[in-house]
Amino acid sequence: MIRRALLTALTAGLCTGVTCTIRFDEGGNGGGNGNGDIGGPYVPLDDASAEITIRSVAGDDAVDVTARIRDRLGLTVWLQREQAVAVNSLELLGPTGGLYRRSLPAAGQYVVTVREPTRGVEETLVTAPPELRILEPTPGGAVSLSGFTLRWSDADPGQNVTVTLTQVLFGSERRKTFGSLSDTGSRALGAGDLAVFRQGADLLIEITRRSNPASLAGFRSGSLVFEQSDNIAVSPGP
């Protein structure tokens, strides 16, 4: 017989800006991710640290989720039978190269579920930030190598962005990165910023915003970060 108790925790000490639900199951009912006990000793997830990143690209209907789960020595934790970490009910797979991964449909909210048979099941509800979109210049439009201004949507000075410019000309790649910058919603680029680029090939502009992490229940230390990006190609001119 399974006895379940539900506890919703909204205190800042457990999670800030998110909703956490703790469900205690008596007598471990997990599925795990099929790794069994391969790869390392059993580490209770409430004694592990984790950083989960949800990466999205504007216009895509799927997101990529990665998780780095480590023990107190900084070593990768191998999930074992009845342990699991899932996002929107899809269990993360791995680890490969020290990372657990999963692609899943993009959503406005994400529920991170941590199943630890020695403790129970804990869930954290996190709301995704607004989608990042490049507003200026327009895709396929012309920009001046003497200088132009980038503008993007839903600026939040509490977050940071990185601007990357890339051009492949005569088989050689030229790249310039600006950031991390305060997310003010715009960035003026002058002739000095653009000096490495030339006319004759498209200039790819990519803006990436990395949000401040939200706390996750179920780990000794757990955080979730949203990484959003948008990219366009423009034609450089004089």
Number of domains in the chain: 2
Query: Does 115 share its domain with 156?
Result: no
Query: Does 141 share its domain with 195?
Result: yes
Query: Does 144 share its domain with 213?
Result: yes
Query: Does 81 share its domain with 174?
Result: no
Query: Does 40 share its domain with 120?
Result: yes
Q: Which of 68, 95, 127 is the last residue of a domain?
A: 127
Query: Does 120 share its domain with 158?
Result: no
The per-residue pLDDT for range 5-21, each reduced to its tens digit, is 333 333 333 343 455 54
The domain that holds 74 is classified in CATH as 2.60.40
Average pLDDT, stretch 48-56? 98
What tokens appear for 225 in the block? 């970060």
DSSP string, 21-39: EEEEESS------S-TTTT
Residue 233 has pLDDT above 50, yes or no: yes
Q: Measured on CA atoms in the order 197, 200, 206, 207, is the torsion positive or negative?
A: positive
Boundaries of domain holding 69: 4-127
Contact 82, 30 (CB under 8 A): yes
CA-to-CA distance for 199 and 234, rounded, in angstroms?
11
Q: Measured on CA atoms in the order 99, 118, 217, 22, is the torsion positive or negative?
A: positive
In the prediction, which pLDDT does 20 show? Answer: 54
Contact 136, 40 (CB under 8 A): no
Query: Does 70 share its domain with 140?
Result: no
The per-residue pLDDT for range 27-37, each reduced to its tens digit, is 333 333 444 44
What φ, ψ does residue 229 adopt, rounded to 5°?
-145, 160
Residues of the chain above pLDDT 90, percent = 80
Query: Does 8 share its domain with 121?
Result: yes
CA triple 32-34-38, angle to 5 deg:
105
Q: Which of 62, 92, 127 is the last residue of a domain?
A: 127
CA triple 55-212-89, angle to 5 deg:
45
**Which one, of 128, 124, 120, lies nearest residue 84 by Cα?**
120
The per-residue pLDDT for range 126-156, each reduced to its tens digit, is 999 999 999 999 999 999 999 999 999 999 9
Query: Does 102 share its domain with 138?
Result: no
CA-to-CA distance for 144 and 104, rounded, in angstroms?
39
Please tell me the pTM assigned to this model: 0.82
Query: Does 152 share its domain with 46?
Result: no
Distance of CA 93 to the CA centre of its chain: 16
